[in-house]
Structure 1
Amino acid sequence: INRVMQWHLDIESEYRDGDKITLLLTPYDEPGRRFSYRILALDYQGAEVRTRAYYFRETEHPFGAHYDADGYEHALHLESSPVPAWQEITSLVGDGRGHKGVDFKTPKFTPLHAPVAGTITRINWNTRNNGNCLEIISEDGAYTHKFLHLEKFPAHVHAGMRVRVGDFIGYTGNTGHSSGPHLHYQVERILSPEQAPGGAYTDTQVVDPYRVFATLEEHIDECDAEAFEMTKAVLDAMLNVAPPTDDAKTRPVIARADSQGDSRS
């Protein structure tokens, strides 16, 4: 739920008395997990936020996403993104115990592109945790951009190499301390030009790329608009009826919960 709603509020800290969530779930197979459920639709009625989310996959996109009633994707997109597409964002900066980056869930060997022009400062440090990794300092010297858990690099990529926006620099993967294939993208503001042996900057501050760089609100493609409206109508009807009582393992499950914690399904 938090992965869908994280662009509007933090469920764990901002869920208020009286807020109500209605979910429409369906099971699906995901490698490495015994049970997986996808949120087909979500209705949130709260004191601060009122919204619905509908799962839909556009014709030309490899993955589905959650859209609001007007056809805008709930998740924001970076205008200059390191990956062309992702299944979902599983962590943002500050999640959990001070997560330092954005985690894009991507299949192994998803192409990685430089989101900024600059210079590759180092490759493969602290590989036990980071796995295969790469760092770029932006052309203006203001930020470092780190990419962790990569699968491999093309042969021409090396430290000291200059890159332009969009240059191919590697593949996402599942190396190092990683629970599944994803890209960890970490941006740090450089506070001092001093560098330690090995090239690491000694005085930096982690920043949220979604706060310091330009973002986009993606809208349903025009060619998919009619199909989205039909999907939305079906999901709205299912959200507004009583939960099924038979064959629950193979049919979508509707669950409702209020802030007092009781639920029924």
Structure 2
Amino acid sequence: MRPPLPTLGPQPKKSPVGPVMVVSLLLGLSAGGVWWWKQRLASETPATVAAEPQATAPVAQGPVDTGAAAALPSAPTAAAAPSNDPLKAAGLSRAVIRIEGPLETAVTAAAGPEVGPALAQVVTRTLVWWVDVPGDIRRGDTLDVLYEVRPNEEPLVYAVRFTSNKTGQTHKTYRFQAEGDRNPRYYLPSGEELELRLENSPLDDYEQVTSLLRDGRRHKGVDFKTPVGTPVKAPFTGIVRRKNWSFRFNGNCIELEEVGGKHRRALFLHMDELPRTLKVGDRIAAGAVLGRSGNSGRSFAPHLHYQLEAGDERVLDPYESHRTYRRSLAATQRAAFEAEMRRQDALLGTTVAGG
């Protein structure tokens, strides 16, 4: 069949009634829908307004989690609740450490990379009074450490509990400042100081021994942490042989050669400015003040470096060359110390790390 041919000329008119009815119907439906939607919004508006204050209060408490914005809790959040953690309340932290390799690795794993390396150094200052570090550190040794993190300073250790496979003992020490003492010290449960003191020491008092010959750092002397200006005394009668040599590293320094006896030499580094009256060749009596401690030369904190050498330049350990002793707390201080020891024990917990 052929398709129909196109029609030429005017077309017959169609009735407009059908299209008008369709348009009218659509307009009516649209108007009805708008009215129904407005009525629904009006009925829901009070509920929405009442919910806004509940949603607004938590927003001011911290960063908004957009994933939970549709279901904000009406109860106080966990962040707003007071902490029942006694460690946080005391501003302290606890590291629970089991040693299976290098000490620093174990401490860093427990305390985190920002604190761990420095904390390991500070903890070592207590361990060296019980064992040689690192030679006597064994796999399976455990440590509990109570410490305070301080901005731009090394961590401050309050208590250490160390179970040693070398000694077969659990060693403990606690930081405590006795009434009338210039500095806090670390004490054993017996009330004796953790650190040995030197007879005829170059310092009458100091805060802490921060380095020894046996602490694994290959240090040639003993470092005493002490404020700038602490009097430094001659440990024996001697002659001043050198003064302020290698200033870039040693800072203000003195070398004193013993008169008679063992012919030892004592080196005092990082001192404050030396007295102008002190001259090479001067004879200094035992116990006389040589100068004051400082923070000069290659020094990162106020301290005194005290080094002993034999006549043949062998480095000597002051803790083997001097007589030593431990100072004990006065009886009047024992009750306060025992109370502080109980407080720190409670923060450490009752179980040994790794047990």
Give the TM-score category using the shorter length: 0.7 to 0.9
Structure 2 partner of 1:221:
330
Instruction: Give, in angstroms, the shift of residue 66 of structure 1.
Output: 0.9
Contact 2:134–2:215, Cα closer than 8 Å, also in 1: no
Query: Alignment partner for residue 172 of structure 2, among 52, 65, 68?
Result: 52
TM-score, normalised via structure 1 length: 0.80
Contact 2:133/2:214 (<8 A) preserved: no
Match of 1:110 in 2: 230
Is this contact kept in 2: 1:25–1:38, CA < 8 A?
yes
After superposition, residues 1-265 of structure 1 pair within 5 angstroms as 1-28=123-150, 34-47=152-165, 48=167, 49-140=169-260, 141-191=262-312, 204-240=313-349, 257-258=353-354
Q: Distance in 1 between matches of 2:250 and 2:282?
A: 21
User: Does the CA-based 8 Å contact 1:187-1:208 persist in structure 2?
Assistant: yes
Specify every segment of 5 or more residues in structure 2 that has no aligned partner in the other structure, as ranges: 1-122
**2:243, 2:280 within 8 Å by CA — same for their partners in 1?**
yes
In 1, distance between residues paired with 2:336 and 2:217?
Answer: 40
1:9 Cα offset (Å): 1.1
Shift of 1:155: 3.2
* Residues in 2 aligned to 1:81 and 1:59: alpha-carbon distance in whole angstroms: 23
Q: State the Cα distance separating 1:241 from its structure 2 match.
A: 5.3
Which secondary structure does the structure 2 equivalent of 1:234 belong to? Answer: helix
Give deviations 1:133-192, integer Å, cap 9, x for gaps.
Answer: 00111122520000011111223222111112211111111111112211111100103x
Higher Cα Rg, which structure: 2
**Secondary structure in structure 2 of the residue aligned to 1:226:** helix
TM-aligned CA deviation for residue 103 of structure 1 = 0.8
Q: For 2:176 and 2:230, how far apart are their aligned partners in 1? A: 21
Question: Do the aligned partners of 2:124 and 2:215 also contact (CA within 8 Å) in 1?
Answer: no
The question of whether the paired residues in 2 share the 8 Å contact of 1:94 and 1:100 is answered with no
C-alpha change, 1:8 and 1:80, in structure 2 (3 Å) is: same
**1:257: how far off?**
4.9
| SS of residue paired to 1:230 | helix
Structure having the larger proportion of residues in strand: 1
Distance, in Å, in 1 between the alignment partners of 2:334 and 2:353 is 31
Q: 1: CA distance between counterparts of 2:194 and 2:129?
A: 7
What is the CA distance between 1:35 and its match in structure 2?
Answer: 4.6
Change (3 A) 1:72 1:126: same
Q: Which has the higher contact order (CA 8 A, sep 6+)?
A: 1
Does the Cα contact within 8 Å between 2:206 and 2:224 map onto a contact in 1? yes
Q: Structure 1 CA distance, aligned partners of 2:214 and 2:134?
A: 13
| More divergent stretch after superposition (10-19 vs 146-155) | 10-19
SS in 2 for 1:237: helix
Shift of 1:82: 0.7
Give 1:78 deviation, angstroms.
0.4
- What RMSD in Å do the two structures reach over aligned CA positions? 2.0
Please report the TM-score for the alignment, with normalisation by the length of structure 2: 0.61
- Report deviation, 1:60: 2.2
